[in-house]
Amino acid sequence: MMPESTPQKGERATYSSILKEHDVESGQREMRRRLLAKLSSDEFNDGPGPHGVVAHLSAWAALSGDDIPILIDALLGIGDVQTLNLILESPGGDGSQVTKFVDLCRNQCQRFRVIVPHEAKSAATLISLGADEIIMGPSSELGPIDAQIPAVVEGLRRFISAQSFIDARDELLRCYDERKAKKEPVEPILQLLTTLDLPFIVECERSMELGREIGKRLLCEYMFLGKKRKANKAEALVAELSSVKRFKLHVAGIKGSMAKDLGLKVRLCGHDFDLWKTVWEYYTRAQLALRRGGGLKMFETTHDVFFAQVVAND
């Protein structure tokens, strides 16, 4: 598709108009803007507008406090709306930022929806719990509530489940009790126990508990508001989402149908739904723009787009 600025028949191509023809980024930005405007229309939102859309996509960089000022700026451009749609793609991140992220979005709307084109894991799943409705399609996945701890393993920086450290300690204690009951030597187990960093494991326990508390609070205040025994239902759902017995790994995927069965308010879209076609076209174009732009995070509205670089700490 040629840009609208292409000279018409009979017009002379000027230097500036030729430059505009080669400005692929500007043309693609306009296409994405039109798709966001379409997602903001009454056609795809319940009730009369105004409605708004903000997209937050991340290649692999985690959610952090640095995202909050950018989100605030994006929301200021949208203003107060009836329905705010958040297109969310994220591997997770700092759970302590989830409540602020959700509160900022909800402060400017009557109804808050999270749209998951592909993956919204861990902390991003918690953000989804703060919505009135989650829109998911064939490719959509949420993830378990599973705090990740940075660790250096064989010289490589990795993120390991906080629950794994807790489980390792509990397994050693179980082995100690078992050997002691059988009057078997316990010295090898004691030696291993002395190598544990107990304050660190306590911190892991607090990180897991923080995620569960945030999940319960968001569900009770929003998605489960008005439901009978909402606190019990929220606690049961969060227990399922943080269960290592059910979800063995952090990367485990929770499809839309499973999320709905767990009790979340999910609108399932087929691949031929007009809403999903629009979401997927936007997501595809945004992903390509993110890669071409060399950024690791992207915030976009109909008003503006921002690519964020992330500098890893040594």
pLDDT band at residue 312 under the 50/70/90 scheme: very low
Answer yes or no: is 65 within a domain.
Answer: yes
Query: How much is the pLDDT for 309?
Result: 67
pLDDT of 280-306, one tens digit each? 999 999 999 988 766 689 999 999 998
With the CA atoms of 26, 28, 32 and 38 taken in that order, what torsion angle do they form, in degrees rounded to the nearest 10? 100
Answer yes or no: is 104 within a domain.
Answer: yes
- Report angle CA 175, 180, 181 to the nearest 5 degrees: 100
- Cβ–Cβ < 8 Å for 17, 5: yes
Query: How much is the pLDDT for 248?
Result: 66
Query: How much is the pLDDT for 279?
Result: 98
Share of the chain above pLDDT 70, in %: 88
Query: How much is the pLDDT for 83?
Result: 97
Could you tell me which residues come within 8 angstroms of residue 173 by beta carbon, excluding any fewer than 6 positions away? 193
Q: Average of pLDDT values for 66-70? A: 93
- Mean residue pLDDT of the chain comes to 88
Share of the chain above pLDDT 90, in %: 62
Answer yes or no: is 278 within a domain.
Answer: yes
Answer yes or no: is 241 within a domain.
Answer: no
Element (H, E) at 203: helix 198-218
Query: How much is the pLDDT for 313?
Result: 43
Answer yes or no: is 219 within a domain.
Answer: no
The CA distances from residue 47 to 51, 83, 273, 276, 302, in Å, are 10, 9, 19, 19, 20
Query: How much is the pLDDT for 181?
Result: 93
pLDDT of 138-151, one tens digit each? 999 999 988 877 77
Answer yes or no: is 277 within a domain.
Answer: yes
- Cβ–Cβ < 8 Å for 215, 126: yes
Which stretch of 65-69, 183-187, 202-206, 309-313 has the lowest confidence by average pLDDT?
309-313
Answer yes or no: is 233 within a domain.
Answer: no
- SS3 of 116, please? strand
- Find out whether the peptide bond into 138 is cis, omega within 30 degrees of 0: no
Answer yes or no: is 161 within a domain.
Answer: no
pLDDT of 15-58, one tens digit each? 766 666 666 788 899 999 999 999 999 999 988 889 999 999 98
Closest CA to 312 of 22, 56, 60: 60
Query: How much is the pLDDT for 94?
Result: 87
Could you tell me which residues come within 8 angstroms of residue 289 by beta carbon, excluding any fewer than 6 positions away? 25, 28, 29, 32, 298, 305
Q: Name the residue with tokens 């767990």.
A: 262
Q: Which amino acid is at 220?
A: C
d(C-alpha 126, C-alpha 96), whole Å: 11
In the predicted model, is pLDDT for residue 314 greater than 50?
no
Could you tell me which residues come within 8 angstroms of residue 283 by beta carbon, excluding any fewer than 6 positions away? 57, 87, 89, 117, 118
pLDDT band at residue 6 under the 50/70/90 scheme: low
Report the domain count for the chain: 1
Q: Average of pLDDT values for 112-135? A: 96
CATH of the domain at 291: 3.90.226.10
pLDDT band at residue 249 under the 50/70/90 scheme: low
Q: Average of pLDDT values for 150-159? A: 72
Query: How much is the pLDDT for 19?
Result: 67
> What's the pTM?
0.85
Range of the domain at 47: 26-143+253-308
Q: Name the residue with tokens 């508390």.
A: 213
User: How far does Cα 125 stand from its chain's mean position?
Assistant: 6
pLDDT of 160-181, one tens digit each? 788 888 888 999 999 999 999 9
Which residue intervals of 62-115 are DSSP H helices?
67-78, 98-106
